[in-house]
Every structure is written in C-alpha cells, then in structure tokens.
C-alpha cells in the first residue's frame, strides 16, 4: 500500500467529496441484507458506443445477454466518462478523480494517452478502487487492458491488485505500428504486443482474436476460486478497441451483420452472459454487483451515419472528443434482489462515482457534507479528496433520489471545453483549440448551450434564450479552471503523475510461461520440497518487492509460508 499523495490531503470547494472510516449517516449506510460485503465486478469495454448494444437502442448487433442484464437490472442512460480517450478515462475510473487532478490527462512525451515504454504512469501514491477494497478484506484482480503505465512501478500489482492478466496498453500499440512511427514516440522500442501475468510477460505477440475468450475464461476461474470471500474483479476488455478492424474469436468472426465491429460486440455480449451464468451457478448472484460499461464513446467511421466503427446514436458526435457521444456511454448495473430489475436511472452519474460507491458498499462509511461538497476518504489517518459521489440511492432506485452533481466538466487534454449542470451542457467560448466537436477554427467565440437531456443530438443552441443559465455555467467553469487548470494554466488542485528516468520495454524473458497447460492460470507455488504450498492462494506479486521469499516471511493477509516463489508485500512477522 502507498502513502497518500501530500497534495491530496485537502478538500476544496465543489470538488471536496469525502469518504470517512467512521459512522455513516442513515441515508448513506445502505448495505445488502445480512450486512455482507458484496462481491463487485466491473466490466469495461474499450471504445464501445452508446448505440452499440440493444438495451440502448441498437438494432444491428445481437446482444441477448445484455438484454437479460437490463431486464434483471438497471440501465443508466445519463452515465458519463471523464475523457473521450483511454488513459484519462481509466485514471478517473481507478481513482474517483478527474484525470487533470492526478496528472493523467496528457504528458509531453505521449500526448493524451500513454504509449509503450512511457516514463509516465499513475502515481503510486494515488489510491485506487483496488486499494480501497483491499482495506476491507477484498481479494482483487484485473483481467485485460490497464493503460495507466507499463513500467513495473505503475503496473496493477503496485496499485492494489493481487492478480493481473492482460495487456498494459491498447491492443493497437504493436511493434509493427512502432516500426512505422520510427523515432517518433520511441516507436523503434515498442515491443511485440505483450500479454502479462502480474509483472511478467508470458506471451508476445499475443493473439488478439483470442483475447475476449481468454479474458472471459480467466474471469470465470477467478470467480470460482474466490467464491468464499469478497472479491473485486475488474474485467477490462480490449475490444472493440482502436484498430480499424476489431478482433474476435472463431465462433464469432464473420457472424454479425456489422462486420468485425459487430463480431467483437457480440462476443463481448457472450462474455457478459458467461459472467452472469457463473455467478448464478455458484450461488453468488444475490451478493454480487456487476457494472457493465465502456471507457468512452465509439470512434465511428468517417461517414457519421456509418456503423462500421461503432455507433453513439442517438447522441451527437464521436469518441476521442468532448461531444456527448464521446462522453456518455451505456451502463447497466445488475444485482438480483438489491438493484431493482427492469428499471432505468435518468439522473447524471459518472465513472467518478465508482470508487466512492464501491467503497460505501464495502462498508467504508460515506459523509457528504453538503450538496456542494461530497466525498473525502479517510485513508490511514489522512483525508483524501475525490471528485465522485456515493450514488447508492440512485443505484438502489430510492424514491426521490437525484444526481448529486452541481457541475460536471468536459476536458480535452488540459483544455476545459464544456461544463454540465442538470440537463444543461455549455460549450464555453474558445479562441484556440486543437480539436472540438462543434466549433470550427476561428468560429468558437460564442457560447453553445445545449439541453442534452431533451436534445441528445445536440442540434439546438439555446444560449440566447437562457443567458442566466450561460452565466451560471460560466461561473462553474471558472471554478474548474482554478482547481483543475485550463490550457497551460495549472490549477491549485492538480498533482503530478508518476515518472521514472529509464523506461524499458515489456518483453518476453523466457520461452515458456509457468501456466497450467491450456489455461491462463498460474501454477500454484510449491515448497522447497516440491509440495504445493497450502497457505498460498495464488502466489501473486503484491505491491512492493522486498527481496524476500515466503518461507522467510509472512504476508499480513494471505499468510504465505514455506513457499519458494519470490515474495512481494509487507512483512509483519518473521517465520
């Protein structure tokens, strides 16, 4: 575990949201029957659009498992991410903070998203969902895409995850692409696309056609292995992804009505069905929350009416931008007996809310001081500010529950482009911008006010009719600029990303990985006499290497003993 970033130990205005390890108010203390800590599964697709699945209006992809999930769960139709691209969006998911706060919105080497062999990554002192839940006794795993740093210091195993299987960045960042880039972005150093287990590359290049199947099977295995204790599983799919032609397994390739994109989406639907079926078969459905969503909107084809690279209909605009179609994504929550079946939430919620909501479900009491200031986490005697809210009342469908957001911000890199409050979204006037979904060069001098609840296609500018709303939102925009910065001007609440001096490629270091034949499961550790170590569940690396072996030390939670696998973690006693 990591000490809290010093700059995080303060609350500030509209952004000061508080989680407290002490008695919670009655309104924020709802827990499942019996007081059990629920299992939590977060399923994240890559670049999947609002209009790509049937529960959100799609008619060209078949998604029966997600239809079932929506029938048995709750759709969130105003659910937003914090960025139109991968790295900053995922930073917010993990930390509950805007990427601008944690320094993951852009950097001078990579631009808006991290590339292979980057010296940058999520700062090890930032507190992630996995670390918060581990405090409450959860076993944690990420399967799939990480994209918050590929150096050892920034990998999931250093950020609270007990287990990791996946690719450390986007599936389009291959050595072939790097070779074409040459010296640009250090392309000549990009390695064959690596599949990693914990901190070791086990396969390179990985077969991308098999990723969804392999990730799904690994997720099922994780659920079955940890059925007797609370777990957090982050299933972070690579698909549909960023390539012009997404990948899919043989059973799905060429089977959809929308080419490779449709094939990938329909395999993702199959994967969701596998997860739900496994939970039901294991008797875990009544005590497991599953959240299914996407990291940003679909990139779409050059023809805005095309569906070959995804659809954000009926929303305006494409992924990679601050358009409504770039930030608003489908979200379905499923928890039989707790989340009301067949219902829809139309209140604004965001990926910033995942950490505080999951923490509340795990028994970390939540305090929301006022409507204008919501969440701060008491973390090892320090107070950690986050930007999201505990939205359990909305998750549980409580009567009269409303969005806690006074303001929500749309950044493109370091530039604030829009602010939302209630149904109103204001694109602020801009003289300069590198990319904008609505303004053209030299024509961004006037405000653009949209009612995105009533007009999701963003076709009518209401600024002249509602000057009072424009003034109010401009005031909120000024608050964001002071706190989170804007276009080269640093905000008072911004922190630095992690950075190292000499990054190295993640490459295959040995010809064969230590796996059970035909699976992605690691071989269980053994004692020096060759017998399986009974105290090790996985033998997976923990946060910080200390140069010890489990036969010489004991972990404070997993009690590794008599095992010759290199040990990573905190020693609390000596054998």
Domain ranges, ordered by start, for the chain: 40-94+113-337, 408-498, 525-575
Q: What pLDDT is stored for residue 457 in this prediction?
A: 97
Q: What are the tokens at 572?
A: 């609390």
Among candidate residues 45, 58, 80, 86, the one labeled active-site is 86
* Percent residues over pLDDT 90 in the chain: 76
The larger pLDDT score, comparing residue 180 to residue 19, is at: 180
| 312 contacts 300 by C-beta, under 8 angstroms | yes
* 488 confidence band (pLDDT: 50, 70, 90): confident
**Measured distance CA(358)–CA(361) in Å, rounded:** 5
| Dihedral Cα 409, 239, 56, 28, nearest 10 deg | -50
**Measured distance CA(200)–CA(209) in Å, rounded:** 21
Alpha helix positions (H), 118-228: 129-134, 175-181, 211-225
Q: What pLDDT is stored for residue 521 in this prediction?
A: 53
Buried b (16+ CB within 10 A) or exposed e, 478-511: ebbbebbbbbeeebebbbebbbeeebebbebeee
Residue 161 vs residues 91, 141, 348: alpha-carbon distances, Å: 15, 5, 29
Q: What pLDDT is stored for residue 100 in this prediction?
A: 98
Q: What pLDDT is stored for residue 570 in this prediction?
A: 26
Find where tokens 């963003």 sit. 458
Mean pLDDT for 440-458 is 94
Q: What are the pLDDT digits (tens) for 145-164? A: 999 999 999 999 999 999 99
Distance of CA 288 to the CA centre of its chain: 18
436 an active-site residue?
no
What is the chain's length?
A: 575
| 505 contacts 169 by C-beta, under 8 angstroms | no
Q: What pLDDT is stored for residue 364 in this prediction?
A: 83
CATH match for 40-94+113-337 among 3.40.720.10, 3.40.50.2000, 3.30.1490.100, 2.60.40.1580: 3.40.720.10
Q: What are the tokens at 433?
A: 């911008």
Terminal Cα-to-Cα distance of the chain (whole angstroms): 22
Report the half-sphere exposure of 163 (CA within 13 A, side-chain side). Answer: 27
147 an active-site residue?
yes
Lowest mean pLDDT among 20-29, 38-47, 101-110, 121-130: 20-29
Phi-psi region of 569 (alpha: psi -120 to 50; beta: other; left: phi over 0): left
Q: What pLDDT is stored for residue 548 in this prediction?
A: 29
Q: What are the pLDDT digits (tens) for 394-406? A: 999 999 999 999 9
**Measured distance CA(73)–CA(394) in Å, rounded:** 13
Which 3-state string (H, E, C) describes 488-513? CECCCCCCCCEECCCCCCCCCCCCCC
- Tell which residue, 179, 206, 234, 216, has the closest CA to residue 44: 234
Report the half-sphere exposure of 197 (CA within 13 A, side-chain side). Answer: 19
| 103 contacts 411 by C-beta, under 8 angstroms | no
* Percent residues over pLDDT 70 in the chain: 80
Q: What are the tokens at 494?
A: 């911004």
Q: What are the tokens at 117?
A: 């062999």
**Measured distance CA(295)–CA(283) in Å, rounded:** 30
**Measured distance CA(153)–CA(174) in Å, rounded:** 22
SS3 of 324, please? helix
pLDDT of residue 51 exceeding 90, the answer is yes
SS3 of 27, please? helix
Q: What are the pLDDT digits (tens) for 59-105? A: 999 999 999 999 999 999 999 999 999 999 999 999 999 999 999 99
The CATH topology of domain 408-498 is Arylsulfatase, C-terminal domain (3.30.1120)
Q: What pLDDT is stored for residue 558 in this prediction?
A: 33
* 511 confidence band (pLDDT: 50, 70, 90): low
**Measured distance CA(91)–CA(148) in Å, rounded:** 7
pLDDT of residue 464 exceeding 50, the answer is yes
* 376 confidence band (pLDDT: 50, 70, 90): low
Among candidate residues 5, 17, 105, 147, the one labeled active-site is 147
**Measured distance CA(207)–CA(5) in Å, rounded:** 38
DSSP 8-state class, residue 195: E
Q: What are the tokens at 143?
A: 């399967």
- State the DSSP string of 101-147: HHT-S-BTTTBTS--TT-SEE--TTSPPHHHHHHTTT-EEEEEE---
Q: What are the pLDDT digits (tens) for 264-282? A: 999 999 999 999 999 999 9
């Amino acid at each position: 575990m990591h000490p809290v970033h010093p700059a995080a130990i303060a609350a500030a205005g509209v952004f000061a949201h508080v989680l407290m390890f002490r008695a919670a108010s009655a309104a924020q203390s709802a827990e499942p029957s019996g007081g059990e800590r629920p299992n939590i599964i977060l399923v994240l697709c890559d670049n999947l659009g609002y209009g790509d699945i049937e529960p959100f209006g799609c008619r060209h992809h078949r998604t029966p498992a997600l239809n079932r999930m929506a029938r048995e769960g709750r759709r969130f139709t105003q659910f937003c991410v914090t960025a139109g691209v991968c790295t900053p969006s995922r930073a917010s998911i993990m930390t509950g903070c805007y990427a601008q706060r944690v320094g993951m919105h852009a950097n001078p080497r990579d631009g808006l998203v991290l590339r292979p062999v980057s010296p940058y990554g999520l700062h090890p002192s930032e507190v992630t969902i996995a670390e918060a839940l581990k405090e409450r006794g959860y076993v944690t795993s990420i399967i799939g895409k990480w994209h918050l740093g590929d150096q050892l210091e920034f990998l999931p195993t250093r950020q609270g995850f007990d287990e990791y299987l996946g690719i450390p960045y986007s599936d389009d960042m291959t050595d072939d692409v790097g070779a074409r880039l040459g010296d640009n972005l250090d392309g000549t150093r990009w390695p064959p696309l690596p599949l990693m287990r914990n901190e070791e590359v086990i396969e390179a290049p990985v077969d991308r056609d098999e990723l969804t199947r392999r990730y799904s099977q690994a997720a099922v295995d994780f659920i079955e292995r940890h059925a007797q204790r609370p777990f957090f599983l982050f299933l972070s799919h690579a698909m549909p992804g960023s390539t012009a032609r997404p990948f899919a397994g043989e059973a799905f390739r060429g089977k959809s009505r929308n080419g490779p994109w449709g094939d990938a989406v329909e395999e993702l639907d199959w994967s969701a069905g596998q997860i739900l079926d496994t939970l039901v078969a294991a008797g875990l459905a009544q005590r497991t929350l599953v959240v299914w969503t996407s990291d940003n909107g679909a990139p779409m084809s050059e023809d805005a009416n095309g569906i070959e690279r995804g659809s954000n209909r009926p929303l305006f605009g494409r992924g990679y931008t601050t358009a409504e179609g770039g930030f608003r994504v489908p979200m379905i929550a499923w928890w039989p007996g707790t989340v009301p079946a067949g219902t829809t939430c139309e209140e604004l919620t965001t990926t910033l809310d995942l950490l505080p909501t999951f923490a509340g479900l795990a028994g970390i009491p939540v305090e929301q001081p006022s409507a204008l200031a919501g969440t701060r986490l008491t973390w090892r005697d320090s107070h950690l500010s986050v930007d999201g809210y505990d939205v359990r009342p909305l998750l549980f469908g409580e009567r009269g529950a409303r969005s806690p957001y006074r303001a929500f911000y749309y950044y493109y890199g370091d530039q604030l482009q829009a602010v939302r409050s209630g149904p109103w979204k204001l694109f602020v006037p801009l003289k300069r911008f590198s990319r904008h979904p609505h303004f053209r060069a030299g024509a961004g001098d006037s405000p653009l006010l949209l009612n995105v609840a009533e007009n999701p296609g963003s076709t009518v500018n209401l600024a002249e009719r509602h000057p009072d709303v424009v003034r109010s939102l401009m005031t909120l925009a000024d608050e964001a600029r002071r706190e989170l910065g804007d276009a080269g001007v640093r905000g008072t609440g911004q922190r630095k990303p992690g950075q190292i001096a000499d990054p190295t490629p993640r490459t295959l270091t040995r010809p064969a990985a230590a796996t059970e034949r035909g699976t992605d499961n690691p071989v269980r550790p053994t004692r020096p006499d060759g017998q399986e170590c009974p105290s090790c569940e996985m033998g997976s690396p923990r946060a910080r290497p200390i140069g010890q072996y489990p036969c010489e030390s004991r972990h404070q939670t997993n009690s590794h003993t008599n095992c010759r696998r290199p040990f990573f973690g905190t020693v609390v006693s000596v054998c």
